[in-house]
């Protein structure tokens, strides 16, 4: 009867019929009085954590069975009672796991290998059996403790989870490391090397993509080709994270879209996807996603992160701040929510509050450079250059391939008067974009993952290239390299100056002391043309300078700097021909010929006795004809130049 009830209970659990499993398990426990753990397991699967704790506490199971202890601790974690879980598990991992795991694992592999050999080679079955019989008692104990080791590894993980919830991240790291060391091991020596390599590659895709880029790329290629995991969501997400770091937002967005098209509620992917939608200014798509999540998963913090991101993109800052705050309250360790919360203060220029929120995100997101980058940007806005340099350097030590970070470091050099170093930084950023394929419009911050303060365009345009080139142009201007500076300004205009209004990086106006972490509309275009005109003034090309200043004033008619510089350029043009001497001579000669022809025609008409239609004197006629000749000659000259 006991066997029958156990099979029934197991079948009900396999079919997720938890009420049936609990009903059968209760009868089984009444008959045997030794199946309390199985009944507690059924209650855990059903979400009855308090009842599961009550059953697992029977007969002192927690102290006698690692499996029962693990289940009890897991119940505490699911209830949010992390202090109780740590009291049960202990603050630190058992020392015997660190000192004996490797040797125990080798012994277990030896026993499995011997057992496998005894089964596969029938002619040597007796010898293999004899060797197995001669295994010493310590090996037998190791083999018997295999299941216990698995639960010990699980308890290391739970211990790390509790430390992380209490913001003790260093302790959490050590616990997670021990959990990984005591995790699943291959059962035979023939597969141990392949399994170890496979596991290592999986871990590499989840670790930092900055510190070991070559190993990360190799791991991705191996898993994609040898194991046909090229379309696996975790592999695609790892690729998208790397592309996002190097400002290749369009390609990264295509990968996250591919993931969510197959699994619409893949929550590990959604924060990065939200950031990319924000960067690319996909307002409609972002609204649809946030609305869907609010209907289907209202208890997920990621849902309210999506809603807050939408409101931030549409510049409804109070609403965005409210929803980011809600997400962070639901999960205080949700770093993306803290970054979005900080962005709302940065968007309103509230640097002190933004710095406080970014600092919280930096504690929660220790594996990424983004919080340090955002802190540096805020300190730059406050002109605290020394502090900004410290934050940016810290971010650089974590990731040296982010063009946004390189740009901010160049801005810091510029503000400190180190224009040569600034030029090198901006050129490095452009080189990174070119090497990574993001500098040709294949298409930054922050927050992310990466929900930045600035927004991108639906065109999928690379916003970092114009920003870096614009800042490079200003640095070259400061060094007196005006021709090179002018080339960069022209290149920014060619790339599409509207991209400047979508960049989250710091850019300069004509006055380098003023910078901003975000842009709005076309306000960056007026300083762009004004700066170009200033360079043309330095090159003494006054006519082209006036054209540049007129373009600036067409965008912002009240701009005082452009107006002042335009007056200066027009003053330099006084008494100076707009065309060259040779061109002006040709125009004068054409006018004289035209005037002579008109006079000859009038003379012939008078000789024929025709009545003059005009009532003015000859001088007036000549003036009128001259005006017509000027118009004709000017039109001809324009056509010739075009």
> Among 96-100, 336-340, 550-554, 597-601, which stretch is predicted with the lowest mean pLDDT?
96-100
Tell me the pLDDT band of 418, cut-offs 50, 70 and 90.
very high
Q: Confirm whether 382 is domain-assigned.
A: yes
Cβ-based neighbours of 494, under 8 Å, separated by 6 or more: none
* Domain CATH number, residue 74: 1.25.40.10
167-203 core/surface letters (b: 16 or more CB in 10 A; e: else) = eeeebbebbbebbebbeebbbeeeebeeeeebeebee
| Mean pLDDT, residues 523-530 | 82
Q: Confirm whether 497 is domain-assigned.
A: no
Angle value at C-alpha 631, between 630 and 634, nearest 5 degrees:
80
Give the separation between CA 634 and CA 591, rounded to whole angstroms: 9
Task: Give this prediction's pTM.
Answer: 0.77
304 and 423 belong to one structural domain: yes
Residue in this structure with the two tokens 């697992």, named with its chain if needed: 56
Which two three-digit tokens encode residue 553?
């004033």
Tell me the pLDDT band of 97, cut-offs 50, 70 and 90.
low
Listed in sequence order, the DSSP H helices in 46-145 are 49-56, 61-64, 66-78, 82-89, 95-120, 125-133, 137-144
Q: Which pLDDT value is given to residue 619?
A: 46
40 and 183 belong to one structural domain: yes
Angle value at C-alpha 383, between 382 and 384, nearest 5 degrees:
90
CB count within 10 Å of CB 588 equals 11
Q: Which pLDDT value is given to residue 499?
A: 53
What's the pLDDT tens digit per position in 483-514? 999 999 999 988 865 455 455 555 555 433 33
Q: Which pLDDT value is given to residue 458?
A: 35
Give the separation between CA 484 and CA 488, rounded to whole angstroms: 6
| Mean pLDDT, residues 393-417 | 94
As beta bridge partners, residue 507 has 516
CA-nearest of 9, 14, 44 to 26 is 9
Cα-based distances in Å from 57 to 53, 106, 185, 527: 6, 35, 30, 72
450 and 530 belong to one structural domain: no
Give the separation between CA 487 and CA 477, rounded to whole angstroms: 11
Give the separation between CA 252 and CA 271, rounded to whole angstroms: 13
| Mean pLDDT, residues 134-139 | 51
Q: Confirm whether 148 is domain-assigned.
A: yes
Q: Confirm whether 602 is domain-assigned.
A: no
Give the separation between CA 256 and CA 233, rounded to whole angstroms: 9
Pick from 575, 597, 613: which residue ends a domain?
575
Average pLDDT, the chain: 80
Give the separation between CA 127 and CA 130, rounded to whole angstroms: 5
Which two three-digit tokens encode residue 407?
């740009």
Question: Bigger pLDDT: 526 or 71?
Answer: 71
What's the pLDDT tens digit per position in 296-338? 999 999 999 999 999 999 999 999 999 999 999 999 889 999 9
CB 422 within 8 Å of CB 410: yes
Tell me the pLDDT band of 627, cut-offs 50, 70 and 90.
very low
Q: Confirm whether 607 is domain-assigned.
A: no
| Mean pLDDT, residues 377-388 | 94
Whether 292 has a pLDDT exceeding 90, the answer reads yes
543 and 449 belong to one structural domain: no
Give the separation between CA 461 and CA 357, rounded to whole angstroms: 30
Percentage of the chain modeled with pLDDT above 90: 52
Q: Confirm whether 278 is domain-assigned.
A: no
Q: Which pLDDT value is given to residue 582?
A: 67
What's the pLDDT tens digit per position in 33-66? 888 999 999 999 999 999 999 999 887 888 888 9
What's the pLDDT tens digit per position in 419-476? 999 999 999 999 998 887 644 433 333 333 333 333 333 334 467 888 999 999 999 9
Q: Which pLDDT value is given to residue 221?
A: 92
Whether 588 has a pLDDT exceeding 50, the answer reads yes
Q: Which pLDDT value is given to residue 577?
A: 62
452 and 528 belong to one structural domain: no
452 and 565 belong to one structural domain: no
Whether 638 has a pLDDT exceeding 70, the answer reads no
Which two three-digit tokens encode residue 484?
């090179």
445 and 568 belong to one structural domain: no
Structural domains of the chain, count: 3
| Host domain of residue 567 | 522-575
Tell me the pLDDT band of 609, cut-offs 50, 70 and 90.
low
Q: Confirm whether 583 is domain-assigned.
A: no
Cβ-based neighbours of 351, under 8 Å, separated by 6 or more: 345, 378, 381, 382
Pick from 198, 214, 233: which residue ends a domain?
198
Pick from 395, 430, 465: which residue ends a domain?
465
Q: Which pLDDT value is given to residue 411?
A: 96
CB 74 within 8 Å of CB 44: yes
Q: Which pLDDT value is given to residue 572?
A: 87
Q: Confirm whether 244 is domain-assigned.
A: no
Cα-based distances in Å from 384 to 37, 240, 388, 405, 455: 60, 34, 6, 17, 25
* Domain CATH number, residue 536: 1.25.40
């Amino acid at each position: 009867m006991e066997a029958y009830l156990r099979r029934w209970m197991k079948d009900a659990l396999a079919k997720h019929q938890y009420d049936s499993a609990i009903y059968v398990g209760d009868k089984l426990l009444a008959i045997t009085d030794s199946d309390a753990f199985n009944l507690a397991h059924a209650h855990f699967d059903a979400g009855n954590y308090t009842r599961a704790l009550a059953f697992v506490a029977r007969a002192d199971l927690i102290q006698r069975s690692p499996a029962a202890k693990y289940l009890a601790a897991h119940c505490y974690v699911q209830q949010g009672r992390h202090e109780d879980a740590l009291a049960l598990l202990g603050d630190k991992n058992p020392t015997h796991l660190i000192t004996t795991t490797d040797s125990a694992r080798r012994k277990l592999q030896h026993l499995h290998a011997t057992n496998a050999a005894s089964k596969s080679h029938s002619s040597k079955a007796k010898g293999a059996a004899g060797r197995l019989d001669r295994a010493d008692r310590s090996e037998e104990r190791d083999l018997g403790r295999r299941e216990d080791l698995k639960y010990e590894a699980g308890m290391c993980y739970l211990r790390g989870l509790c430390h992380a919830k209490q913001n003790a991240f260093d302790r959490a790291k050590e616990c997670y490391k021990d959990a990984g060391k005591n995790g699943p091991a291959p059962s035979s020596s023939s597969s141990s090397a392949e399994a170890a390599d496979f596991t290592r590659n999986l871990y590499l895709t989840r670790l930092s993509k900055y510190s070991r880029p070559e190993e990360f790329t190799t791991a991705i290629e191996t898993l994609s080709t040898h194991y046909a995991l090229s379309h696996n969501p975790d592999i695609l997400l790892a690729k998208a994270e790397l592309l996002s770091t190097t400002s290749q937002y369009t390609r990264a967005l295509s990968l996250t879209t591919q993931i969510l098209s197959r699994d619409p509620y893949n929550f590990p992917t959604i924060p990065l996807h939200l950031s990319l939608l924000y960067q690319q200014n996909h307002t409609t798509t972002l609204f649809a996603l946030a609305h869907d999540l609010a209907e289907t998963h209202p208890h997920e913090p990621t849902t309210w992160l999506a809603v807050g991101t939408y409101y931030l993109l549409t510049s409804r800052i109070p609403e965005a701040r409210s929803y980011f705050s809600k997400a962070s309250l639901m999960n205080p360790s949700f770093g993306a929510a803290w970054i979005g919360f900080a962005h709302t203060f940065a968007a309103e220029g509230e640097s002190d509050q933004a710095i406080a929120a970014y600092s919280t995100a930096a504690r929660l997101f220790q594996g990424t450079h983004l919080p340090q980058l955002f802190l540096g940007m805020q300190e730059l806005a406050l002109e605290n250059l020394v502090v900004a340099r410290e934050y940016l350097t810290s971010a650089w030590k974590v990731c040296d391939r982010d063009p946004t970070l390189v740009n901010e470091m160049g801005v810091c050099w510029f503000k400190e008067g180190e224009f040569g170093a600034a030029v090198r930084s901006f050129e490095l950023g452009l080189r990174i974009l070119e090497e990574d394929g993001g500098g040709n419009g294949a298409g930054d911050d922050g927050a992310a993952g990466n929900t930045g303060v600035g927004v991108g365009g639906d065109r999928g345009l690379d916003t970092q290239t114009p920003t870096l080139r614009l800042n490079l142009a200003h640095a070259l201007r400061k060094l007196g390299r005006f021709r090179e500076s002018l080339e960069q300004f022209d290149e920014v205009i060619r790339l599409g100056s509207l991209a400047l209004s979508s960049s989250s990086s710091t850019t300069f106006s004509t006055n380098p002391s003023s910078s901003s972490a975000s842009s709005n509309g076309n306000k960056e275009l007026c300083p762009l043309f004004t700066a170009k005109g200033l360079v043309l003034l330095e090159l003494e090309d006054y006519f082209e300078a006036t054209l540049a200043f007129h373009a600036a004033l067409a965008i912002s008619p009240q701009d005082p700097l452009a107006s002042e510089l335009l007056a200066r350029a027009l003053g330099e043009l006084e008494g100076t021909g707009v065309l060259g001497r040779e061109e002006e001579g040709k125009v004068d000669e054409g006018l004289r010929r035209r005037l002579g022809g008109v006079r000859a025609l009038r003379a012939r008409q008078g000789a024929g006795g025709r009545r003059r239609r005009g009532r003015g004197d000859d001088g007036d006629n000549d003036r009128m004809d001259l005006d017509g000749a000027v118009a004709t000659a000017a039109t001809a000259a324009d056509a010739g130049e075009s």
